[in-house]
Amino acid sequence: MHFLLDTHILLWTLYCPEKLPRDIRNILEHDDSDIEYSIVSLWEIELKHSKYEGEFLFTARDTYQDAQISGLHMMELSPPHIITLGRLNKPKKDHKDPFDRMLIAQSKFTNSYLITHDRNLTLYEEDCVRYF
């Protein structure tokens, strides 16, 4: 099965694996799991680091390097992913995080499951979102 990691799941996987729910650890450890993270997550990480430098210690550069060392594959951003944004269900209540929306669109387009621990992503009621 094909999975895409939400940004916080990527960071937990690399830096705080003890925070991962057991179900996510099982997916990450399963031989048949094809695990990717998105270049969108690197963008989000760098913006948060720039905005909250003293609090948000992760950088895109370090995360990218550590993900490579860990053997994680990166999903690039392509025009079909962006076009898929227009096909997302409207969330049940206001949710405007552009990074979350793009990750859902990438998962939807690639027929993968977005692994998240952010309940807000379930507001879209997309089959590709897997909340743990």
Mind listing the pLDDT tens digit for each residue in 31-56?
Answer: 999 999 999 999 999 999 999 989 99
Residue 24: C-alpha distances to residues 3, 4, 10 (Å): 10, 12, 11
Residue 16 CB neighbour total at 10 angstroms: 10
- Average pLDDT, stretch 124-128? 97
> What is the average per-residue pLDDT within 109-116?
98
What is this structure's pTM? 0.95
Extract the tokens encoding 71: 């053997």
Name the one residue in this structure whose structure tokens are 């057991």. 22
Q: Where are the domains of the chain?
A: 2-118
CA distance 46 to 71: 21
Q: Check: CATH 3.40.50.1010 for 2-118?
A: yes
pLDDT tens by residue, 96-109: 899 999 999 999 99
